[in-house]
Amino acid sequence: MAGPGYKRSWKNLLLNKRYQLRFTLFMVGIAAVLMTCLGWWVMRVAEDATNVAMARVRGEACPKIPELTETAPSGDSNAVPMKLDDGSDSGGSGSGSSEQPPDQPPPQQPPPQPHVVVDPAVALTAVANLWCITPASCKPAATEPLVIRTGRATNCDAYVKKKLGDPASVEALRKAMITVVRCEGGQTVSIADAPEPEHHVTVQIDESSMTLTPTVPNDYGDSIVKHWTCEMRQAGAIDSLERGRRLILWVLLATGIVLSVGLAVYGIKMTHRVAGPLFKVSLYLAKMRDGRFDKVYNLRKGDQLVDFYTHFKTAHAGVVTLERADIDQVKAVIAAAEAAGCGDHEAVAELKKTLARKEKSLE
Amino acid sequence: MSDVPAATVVQDGKLGGDVPKGEGGAGGGGPRRTPYKRRLSNYMLDRSLQLRYVLLVTILSGVIAGSLGFLIYQQSATASDSIEADLTALTGSDSSLDDFKNQEVEQLHAGDRMLVYEMVAVGIGLVIILSAYLVIMTHKVAGPLYKVSMYFDRMAEGRLGNITALRKGDMLQDFFGNFREMHEAVRTRLQADVITMESAAAALRAKAGASNELADALDAMDKHVTQRKKQLL
């Protein structure tokens, strides 16, 4: 510590933690509080200023794009044709369904009649192909009940029930205008009892076209460019304002952090210039307490408490002077006692011990 | 040897802060001094040490407050200018609204000026309060150093009397403890040496009848011991 070649080391910076940390933390704390409070104030005002500036930017009217007048012929002819299939006539035209009055009541029992007239012969053939096949036999006739005959091996009622579950078979009966099916010697079933096929509406949109004949102004392109240039400039300006506001926030945060860290380091170094001399004096005080009065070296360059250290050096020199005065007196008495032939006296021996201790303390 | 006082340290005494100039002290029989009291003029004991820290923190706080205050004013003035420009654009063609515009603009500028005044007032208040607090805070370090310096001066003169404890709230208590230990040890040792020298002088004086040289040396030692006793009071 006292050696002239001593250099400051980061490890030794905190010599007096209580004093150094107290002063350093106070300094850092003051800076942090000021930065936080005033920073919050700055951000509040900056937000107001940014909002005002944004409102101003938004308030600047951009040139509008002139509206084009559409001269396309009006009427339903250009309406997109739709075909709504109610499921009963998949091949029917769309116009057929659209021509029905909208307030027509929904079809009641029996099921609605088909809209398209089917050839009766074809319909009866279809019935025969679907119903009058093994294991059953029948002779379908339009508008008359269909009589089913089956062999003993086949339950006619079950056969009819099964067929009624087939939508194609039921549809064939409807087209042939047969409303009742009767098992020979068995039950009579109305096709109205047959389960309704699922009813999906199929919307078919045909190709459409629209003819516009707008009146395009000569500067239409320029107007569009001007409009969007203005809009983009405004968006850029608003974005720039928002960036500026955020920049203030980041600069404040960065400044606060750098300031706090810098102040902490500087505070410890600064207080070390006080704690260092105190530490050094404490070492000398310990030596003096133990009866050793070594040479006192000067403080390092840059240390504070130079005056205080000078006081210590004079105090140290004063104690050394006391010791030297004692040594001189004791030496003189010992020499005189030895000259008088009292060198072996117990008191002289005691004085010699004291002299040796005092001389050693000054080495 | 009964006239050599014991090396006692006044504990929790309130006579500290100053170092006895004479022989007065807790253990002495001299005139008692009036208790030391903190005074405003005594707060700057070590100007170099205290002013350095006070100025550093105060200037730092001033710079932070000034910089951020300028930012606040700048932002506020920018907003005011923006509003003023909008007002001018809105009322530019209508002279009947000039009064309204001027009134609004004046209000905006007055608000900005008031902001500056408020910030300056707060800044000055902050600097004053902070400086006062820092002087008191540093005084708690400078005070013990001043007291120890006074004791050092006494030691330099060869006087090692009683010492009093630091005041409540003072910092550097550990350092002062080290100093007190040293002071007590040196004083005790010197007192023991005085006893040794006095005893030796008394024992040898009986044998010094025929030796003038020894008698002179013992006389000198007696004087030395007498003086040392005074120094150790």
Q: Identify all chain A residues contacting B213, using CB atoms and an 8 Å cutoff.
A: 336, 339-340
Residue listed under structure tokens 């062999």: A151
A42 contacts B182? CB cut-off 8 A: no
- pLDDT tens digits, B35-92: 556 566 678 777 878 888 889 888 988 999 899 999 899 888 888 888 888 888 888 7
The interface predicted TM-score (ipTM) is 0.75
Which chain A residues are Cβ-neighbours of B223 within 8 angstroms?
none
Alpha-carbon distance B169 to nearest alpha carbon in chain A (angstroms): 13
Contact B158 A350 (CB under 8 A): no
Q: What is the pLDDT of residues A241-295, one digit of tens each?
A: 999 989 999 999 999 999 999 999 999 988 898 899 999 999 999 999 999 998 9
Selected residue of B129, B189, B190 to mutate for chain A interface (largest A Cβ count, 10 A):
B189
| Domain locations in chain B as residue ranges | 9-181
The Cα–Cα gap between A157 and A181 comes to 10
CA atoms of B33 and B15, how far apart (whole Å): 8
CA distance B35 to chain A (A): 25
Please report the pLDDT score of residue A185 as a whole number: 75
Q: Is A137 left (phi over 0), alpha (psi -120 to 50) or beta?
A: beta
Closest-approach residue (CA) in chain A for B183 = A289
Of the spans A88-102, A174-188, B24-38, B154-168, which averages the highest pLDDT?
B154-168
A8 pLDDT tier (thresholds 50, 70, 90): low
Quick check: A289 and B186 CB within 8 A? yes
Distance from CA of B65 to the nearest CA of A (A): 7
What is the pLDDT at residue A181?
87
Q: Which residue has the higher pLDDT, A189 or B198?
A: B198
For B204, which of A49, A288, A333 is closest by C-beta distance? A333
pLDDT per residue as tens digits for the range A113-170: 444 556 778 888 888 888 888 888 888 888 888 888 887 777 888 888 888 888 888 8
Contact yes or no for B156 and A317 at CB 8 A:
yes
Q: Write down the pLDDT at residue B6.
A: 43
A-B contacts at Cβ under 8 angstroms: 205
- What is the C-alpha separation between A248 and A43, in angstroms, rounded? 8
> Which 3 state secondary structure label does DSSP give A114?
coil
Inter-chain CB proximity B207 and A56 less than 8 Å = no
Q: Which residues pair with A203 in a beta bridge?
A: A84
pLDDT higher than threshold 80 for residue A89: no
DSSP for chain B?
A: -TTS----EETT-SS-SS--SSS-SSSS-SPPPPPP---GGGS-S-HHHHHHHHHHHHHHHHHHHHHHHHHHHHHHHHHHHHHHHHHHHHHTT-GGGHHHHHHHHHHHHHHHHHHHHHHHHHHHHHHHHHHHHHHHHHHHHHHHHHHHHHHHHHHHTT----EEPPPTT-S-HHHHHHHHHHHHHHHHHHHHHHHHHHHHHHHHHTT-SS-HHHHHHHHHHHHHHHHHHHHT-
Strands A202-205 and A188-190 turn out to be unpaired
Does the beta-carbon distance from A286 to B182 stay under 8 Å?
A: yes
Q: Chain B partners of A22 at a C-beta cutoff of 8 Å?
A: 171
> CA-nearest residue of chain A to B47?
A305
**B97 CA to chain A: closest CA distance, Å?**
20
CB contact under 8 A, A326 and B204: no
Q: Do B214 and A52 touch (CB under 8 A)?
A: no
What's the pLDDT at A70?
58
Question: Mean pLDDT score of chain A, rounded to an integer?
Answer: 81
Cβ separation of B76 and A49 shorter than 8 Å? yes
**pLDDT value, residue A95:** 41
Contact call for residues B186 and B160 (beta carbons, < 8 A): yes
Rounded Cα–Cα distance for residues B2 and B23 (Å): 17
B32 to chain A, closest Cα gap in Å: 26
The pLDDT of residue B28: 37
Reported as a single tens digit per residue, the pLDDT across A70-87 is 554 444 445 555 555 544
Mean of pLDDT values over A16-33: 89
Rounded distance between C-alpha atoms, residue A101 and residue A306, angstroms = 113
More confident of the two residues A88 and A352? A352
Among A101-115, A288-302, A339-353, B188-202, which stretch is predicted with the lowest mean pLDDT?
A101-115
State both tokens at A340: 């008088």
Strand B163-164, strand A146-150: pairing: unpaired
Query: Using one digit for the tens of pLDDT, what is the confidence trace for B162-206?
Result: 899 998 889 999 999 999 999 999 999 999 999 999 999 888 887
Distance from CA of A67 to the nearest CA of B (A): 28
